[in-house]
Amino acid sequence: MNPEEIFSMIKEASSCLEPVIRKTPVMISDAISGLSRAEVFLKMENFQRTGSFKVRGAYYKMSKMKGVKSVVAASSGNHAQGVSYSASLLGMKAKIVMPKYTPFFKVNAVKGYGGEAILHGETYDDAYLKAMEISKEEGIPFIHPFDDPEIIAGQGTIGLEISDLDFDAVIVPVGGGGLISGIAIAVKRLKPNAKVIGVQPAGAPSSYLSFREGRIVETDRAYSIADGVIVKRPGELTLKIMREFVDDIVLVDDREIARAIFLLLEREKTVVEGAGALPVAALLSGKLRLEGRRVVCVISGGNIDPSMLDRIMNRVLLLEGRQIKVMGVLPERPGQLKRVIDVVAELGFNIVEIEHERLNPLIHPGMTQVTLVLEVPGREYADLLISRLRGMGLEFSQVMF
């Protein structure tokens, strides 16, 4: 199918989806604009039904399957929810094969939308093979997460929705390439001078490598906190479209992704999953030269595991020096820990966590190891605390990250 045919499908999909999805807002971000020295707009697909853009492609694809009563898909996240939700609206049954270790909140979301969650295998690839087996045995269609023209067209409706804006570049998360393929076709058709830039995690770079080499490159292993875009290989169709319409794809690491998630929560008061934070991570990483330009970041979803969000928040606080971790040894005598706590109180620091370890075999039997996590105004305050404690004859040092 050629790009003009897909663009026609994008316009049809826009009409089809109008009564079903939310036309999500585009918000200017003063905070990210200031940090990146660009004028930054956020396309908030984390506000979309099911918490992700995936419902767009799933519903459009399934709405055209007349007479179909059941479908099957493989997914550990957003595609699963998009297919389940769409099936519930269209009077279909949806079987979703998910890896055994999929977080419970994602499994429960599928069930909540009326889908049947089938836990199988340890990876997406295992789940995919099982879903294809079910499709063949039961004679029901498989809904591919990205390498399908109707899925691409549904995702491309985002490109139509931002086309009224005056912008120089749009930055899009990339996994298998369905989202950026649809957006790129729409944007290049309507705003040919605008740049379309993809972002993929450094730990799962299959589309990045394939884009550069001009052929499908399959990675052996893939890992990132941006779990929504972890694929070992892009699609045949999506790679062809990316090579024709996408200007560039860049990589960001998990620290950059975590910082973007943190920033969007703290400054924009919005919860974003790892994949959704990729455009902001790329913009703040220094890998793109877009200073002074008007830029749209597609925030693709907000379905993040609460426990993962908690770990990311604490990690970033430590990395940015807004929390510090100090460790030392104290004589095993009454009142020694109080001496440390009194110094912390005098300096106005807040104690987040204390570990008091008596059984460490590497510590002298008459000593106790103490570790404190503290909220502080800035990283430089660690030196002040350590200096005060050492001045009291207490051996403490900062744990660095």
Helix axes 149-162, 3-17, angle to 10 degrees: 70
Q: Catalytic annotation on 54?
A: yes
Which one is catalytic: 75, 206, 210, 300? Answer: 300
- Written as six digits, the tokens of 227 are 């779990």
- In the block, tokens 């943190």 appear at 262
Task: Say how many C-beta atoms besides its own lie within 10 A of residue 36's C-beta.
Answer: 22
Cα separation, 179 vs 312, in Å, equals 26
Strands 93-98 and 70-74: parallel
For the chain, report the end-to-end CA distance as a whole number of angstroms: 50
Whole-angstrom distance, CA of residue 115 vs CA of residue 83: 8
- Does 300 participate in catalysis according to the annotation? yes
Of these residues, 29, 52, 54, 61, which one is catalytic?
54
Distance between CA 79 and CA 50 in Å, rounded?
9
* Residues sharing a CB contact under 8 Å with residue 199, sequence separation 6 or more, in sequence order: 171, 172, 173, 174, 249, 250, 251, 252, 278, 279, 281, 282
Measured at the CA of 374, the angle between CA 324 and CA 377, to 5 degrees, comes to 75
Q: How far, in Å, CA of 281 to CA of 259, rounded?
A: 7
Sorted by sequence, the CB contacts under 8 Å of residue 207 that are 6+ apart come out as: 174, 175, 176, 177, 198, 200, 231, 234, 238, 239, 242, 249
Let me know: does 194 contact 168? Beta carbons within 8 Å: yes
For 247, half-sphere exposure in the C-beta direction (CA atoms, 13 angstrom radius) is 14
Query: What are 53's two structure tokens?
Result: 């853009």
Query: Is there a contact between 49 and 78 (Cβ–Cβ < 8 Å)?
Result: no
Q: In this structure, what are the phi and psi dihedrals at residue 212, rounded to the nearest 5 degrees? A: -75, -35
Please list the active-site residues. 54, 300
